[in-house]
Structure 1
Amino acid sequence: MHPALRRLALAATIILGVSLLSAPANAAVLAGTVLTNATATLPAELSPLATGKRISYVTTNVNGGVITATGLVLTPKTGKNNKTVAWGHGTTGLADQCSPSASQSVFWPEARAAIAELLRRGWTVAAPDYPGLGTPTSHPYLIGNSEARSIIDSVKAARRLDTALTTQYVVDGHSQGGQGALFVNQIAPSYDSPLVLRGTAAIAPVSNADLFAPVIPGTAGQGYLVMGLYGLQTVDASVNPNTLLAPPAREKVSVLQSGCLYQILDAFAPLTAEQLLVGGALPDAVVTKLARYLNPGQTATSAPVLLVQGTADEAVPYIFTSGPLRSQLGAYSQPVTYTELDGATHDGAVFQSTTLVADWIAARFA
């Protein structure tokens, strides 16, 4: 974030926070308030299709405190129909330079493809960065309720910029963003008023951390686990990554601030499980806490769900989506549509499903 915008956003957070000390219920009213907006330079795949605004806006943390977040609002140049789709991006990193709205290097190609199809359908796209990416706070990586609040409030912010937008919205997300989309579906009844959620599409969503996290040590995906521990620390101060990570891993944690996703993955991938974690494994208590904050499907959904999963996913094994997650979501009253893409990789599932997902969204709006 530009230093001037950072100072303005921080000042606004302080002012708003002070004003809310005597009236915390006002936080819900302020959520979605646009603090700053500026014309955004969009990737080449999107600039012919939309105009863009980079915004900072008010959202709330998991305790209801007022914070600021950043993101993009993309408005179709042709065929606009006044419905909004929120795009939840996949993992980019933990540091400020890893915010997609400010750095096209982490505005992933699969995200561009998905958003392009949404714009072609005439939908305004709200694309939040998530709290802590581009703002002074730490990023609560994979904390589902944090992602969900910022996603919902980005839609509210889009409506503040464009009063022609209706209250109807759908959330479309990939990986971390797919997990966030599912959490939106859970918290919407208590958080998104006056919006009306029509459905959530989750592509290769993170889920079942209690099953997934214990098998990560010693694999190429260890960087995700390290980020997950720092994300957990933002909502549970008793979790100290420095006491969980082994010395060889602690020597590499500076990459969490100096780099983004691929630099983080490359830094931790060569380590053995014992070089990553003290004793080579996470304590059961930490696994339980990861599940508490990261797992979607623990409470009822409020709108239809589309799950899309590739069978050759190297980041989110398809067995977690096709088995436990599908079963967990299916236990509630809202319909769950599951689509499996044979041979699709983690990112490939997004490229292969752009039309499928957009058709499903169109049916939700219809």
Structure 2
Amino acid sequence: MKKISRLLLAALIAVAGMLVATAGPAHATVPGFVLSSSTASLPPTLSALATGKRIHYLTTNINGGLITATGLVLTPKTGKKNRVVAWGHGTTGLADSCAPSTNQAVFWEEARVAVAELLSRGWTVAAPDYPGLGTPQPHPYLIGASAGRSMIDNVRAARHLDAALSTQYVVDGHSQGGSGALFANQLAPSYDGNLVLKGSAAIAPLSNAQEIIPYIAGTDVQGYLVMALYGVNAVEPSFDPKSVLAGPAEAKLGVLQTGCLYEILETYEKFKAKQLVEGGVVPDAVVAKMASYFNPLQTAPSAPILLVHGTDDEAVPYFLSEILADQILAYGVPLTFQTVQNATPHDAVTESPDRVADWIATRFS
């Protein structure tokens, strides 16, 4: 089955190449090229505000190779519609069934609230699934350079569908998507071509991963660590997560392909540290490797940043954004840091959509 999927991927890219040859330079086999689009089924709270297209488009992996990805382009029913915001969703899982564009169960409530606010402002929303969710390759979970590329290229894809859309865009995301939004910010000058990034809004983004990875095993949220190890494997196949995981954890790996986030967390939440990883501790070299892939802003961002974080976040602790804020300021980039008191990861999104949208509006103005 995997062989068939790889052949299908190669065929799709080949078809795109033939389209280039027949359609001329206006249709290029470049990131953002739309291979197909179809009417999307949206949650009721969003279908009242927008029409949607599910798209299959070209993006690149972290080494620059062409791959395919899927996502949504949501066009508001009212407003000017010509400005674009890329929305990066939080963790859904690793399996194809965990793609929000086709599975409304993982189009989380907080994401619906955030996207509804963007649409209510009259902005087109480009919402990628991220590579590997709904496409043949493995999902590079928490590899921000992958998510950031797919966010930028989903914006490009939206403009392929509607040439009237402005080149100006903002990236906005939560958790995994918040990190992706920050990676997009540092990637933009060399990657987004004629687009103009006006800013990144990051809600509870993962950063400074080395500060928490050593302490995750044995906690209720250790399923994230299992997924993160496989995120590294997706971009570095020579890295074997089983060299880190303990036998009891390995025995439950099937859930990564049969379940999405909450099934994965539930599967691992009661494990003791030594049942999850060998010796109960992630080796220092593995921690460093993961941080090198996961930590955003290892190079300078290119546009202003809004950072939003809840103080009761058990998945991505608040203190990480305190460290991150100092790192952003050290680059000399404008930063707005908003703390949401007593807020969980979910609450940080649902209690701040108007504040985030107000900040985005100032960027567009």
Coarse TM-score class (shorter-chain normalised) = over 0.9
Q: Distance in 2 between matches of 1:312 and 1:220?
A: 15
Q: CA deviation at 1:328?
A: 1.2
- Matched position secondary structure for 1:321: helix
6 and 128 in structure 1: CA distance in 2 versus 1, 3 angstrom threshold? farther
Q: CA deviation at 1:15?
A: 5.4
Q: Distance in 1 between matches of 2:334 and 2:278?
A: 43
- Matched position secondary structure for 2:51: strand
253 and 18 in structure 1: CA distance in 2 versus 1, 3 angstrom threshold? farther
Partner of 2:250: 250
**Residue pairs, 1:99-118, within 5 angstroms:** 99-118=99-118
Q: Does 1:204 align with 2:198?
A: no
Q: Distance in 1 between matches of 2:356 and 2:93?
A: 26
71 and 40 in structure 1: CA distance in 2 versus 1, 3 angstrom threshold? same
Q: Distance in 1 between matches of 2:93 and 2:63?
A: 23
Structure 2: unaligned runs, 5 residues or longer: 21-27
Partner of 1:333: 332
Q: Distance in 2 between matches of 1:346 and 1:86?
A: 20
Q: Distance in 2 between matches of 1:18 and 1:106?
A: 35
Give the number of equivalent residue pairs.
356
Partner of 2:137: 137
Q: CA deviation at 1:81?
A: 3.5
Q: Distance in 1 between matches of 2:288 and 2:314?
A: 24
Q: 333-342 or 83-92, which moves further after superposition?
A: 333-342
Partner of 1:352: 351
- Matched position secondary structure for 2:165: coil
User: Deviation digits for residues 299-322 of structure 1, max 9, x if unmatched?
Assistant: 100000000000111211101112
- TM-score for the superposition, normalised by structure 2: 0.94
264 and 10 in structure 1: CA distance in 2 versus 1, 3 angstrom threshold? farther
Q: CA deviation at 1:13?
A: 2.9
- Asked if structure 2 preserves the Cα contact closer than 8 Å seen for 1:9 and 1:56, the reply is no
Q: CA deviation at 1:238?
A: 3.1
- Matched position secondary structure for 1:151: helix
295 and 282 in structure 1: CA distance in 2 versus 1, 3 angstrom threshold? same
Q: Does 1:79 align with 2:76?
A: no
Structure 1: unaligned runs, 5 residues or longer: 21-27
Partner of 1:269: 269
Q: Distance in 2 between matches of 1:111 and 1:8?
A: 31
Partner of 1:128: 128
- Asked if structure 1 preserves the Cα contact closer than 8 Å seen for 2:57 and 2:70, the reply is yes
Amino acid at match of 1:70: T
Q: Distance in 1 between matches of 2:71 and 2:206?
A: 21
Over the residues paired in the alignment, what is the CA RMSD in angstroms?
2.0
Q: Distance in 2 between matches of 1:6 and 1:249?
A: 29
Amino acid at match of 2:343: A
Q: Distance in 1 between matches of 2:223 and 2:5?
A: 30
User: Deviation digits for residues 193-229 of structure 1, max 9, x if unmatched?
Assistant: 1100000000000111111111101001111000000
Q: 312-321 or 174-183, which moves further after superposition?
A: 312-321
Partner of 1:306: 306
Q: CA deviation at 1:11?
A: 1.8
Partner of 2:191: 191
Runs of 4+ in structure 1 off by over 4 angstroms are: 4-10, 14-20
- Asked if structure 1 preserves the Cα contact closer than 8 Å seen for 2:246 and 2:275, the reply is yes
Q: Distance in 2 between matches of 1:331 and 1:236?
A: 31
Partner of 1:174: 174
- TM-score for the superposition, normalised by structure 1: 0.94
